[in-house]
Structure 1
Amino acid sequence: MQTKTEAPQPDLLALDQQVCFALAVAARNVIGLYRPLLEPMRLTHPQYLVMLALWEKSPSSLTELAGRLSLEPATLSPLVKRLEAVGYVTRARDAKDERALAVTLTAEGAALREYAPAVPAGIVARLGMPLSELEDLRDRLHVLIEASHQARGADG
């Protein structure tokens, strides 16, 4: 029973109280802002993430890329195939380990990096939020991601 001095408790099942809902809507909305910035580069958002990883380290094995991107290799493989079809990467068996598939940037894929800095700058401009707030949000999301990895590991 609630007394007159106690604040009402929020409905924990209300949609706007759900972390998952807020994350899903925010992700959908923000990723949508990337589309017009990536179209001139002929990239989708998932392909852009693959390219970001490869700009950091190329060649990379498909397994290594999947780990960096938190994707299953079976999910990543079609993305890499499409990047190969547009000439941004090549796929080949690793000479050191025939079981591993090495993904390597082509000259065109490496050159695309020159245009990439406009993407984060464009997102910051479109959101109209101070960069410091976006950086803080990103850092807090990394904490959430790590906590979710820990929780999933504890479950099984």
Structure 2
Amino acid sequence: MTSAQTTALPDFDLERYLPYRFVVLAARLSSKLARQYKREFGISIPEWRVLLNVGYTEDLSIRDIEQRVSLERSKVSRAATKLEAKGYLAKQIDPRDKRLLKLTLTPEGTELLTKLIPIADKFQAELNQILGEDTDALHLALDRLMEETD
């Protein structure tokens, strides 16, 4: 207890607190994978997330990506602008809602993803090997949590 603290804190096991553990683990995993694609392709974590979502989800706007990956709109927008400048994405104003920018892959973006996905697949295989037979159970538990927190 510090000198400024006059009452005892309630018992709390931070190391078993799931939200804390998920955030720390997600940051570690994301950084480990990011080192690989950043070194080889110069892509940042937000750029990777935007590129991946545009490539594997149809009819996406910046707002959609922001909601899907829990990134601030400004980070998604900056990442999309950088990807557009590198020639990987194209932006178009949504004809149904002029406030939305729709994102699509360019041929160069498609080519980049064909090089990035094997890196992600190898990383996933490494994680599956670490988890072994617990992999399916983890996916089920994560699916349940994702559904409950929507």
Tell me which residue corresponds to 1:145.
Answer: 146
Q: CA RMSD in A?
A: 2.6
Structure 2 unmatched ranges of 5 or more: 1-9
Kindly tell me: are residues 140 and 97 of structure 1, through their superposed partners in 2, closer, same or farther at Cα, counting changes over 3 Å?
same
How far apart in 1 are the matches of 2:46 and 2:140? 21
Aligned length: 139
TM-score of the superposed pair, with normalisation by structure 1? 0.72
Percent identity of paired positions between Structure 1 and Structure 2: 24
Aligned residue for 1:32? 31
Gaps of 5+ in 1: 1-10, 150-156
CA contact (8 A) 1:62 1:102 kept: yes
Q: Deviations over 1:1-27 (max 9, x none)?
A: xxxxxxxxxx85022231122112211
Amino acid at match of 2:30: I
Shift of 1:59: 4.8
Q: Which residue of 2 aligns with 1:66?
A: 66
**Deviation per residue, 1:74-113 (Å, 9 max, x gap):** 4421121121122211223223432221212111101112
Alpha-carbon displacement from aligned partner over 1:13-71 (angstroms, at most 9, x marks no partner)? 02223112211221122112102321213222222221121112355222233333344
In the other structure, the counterpart of 1:123 is: 123
2:116 partner SS: coil
The letter for the 2-side match of 1:113 is L
- TM-score of the superposition, structure 2-length normalised? 0.74
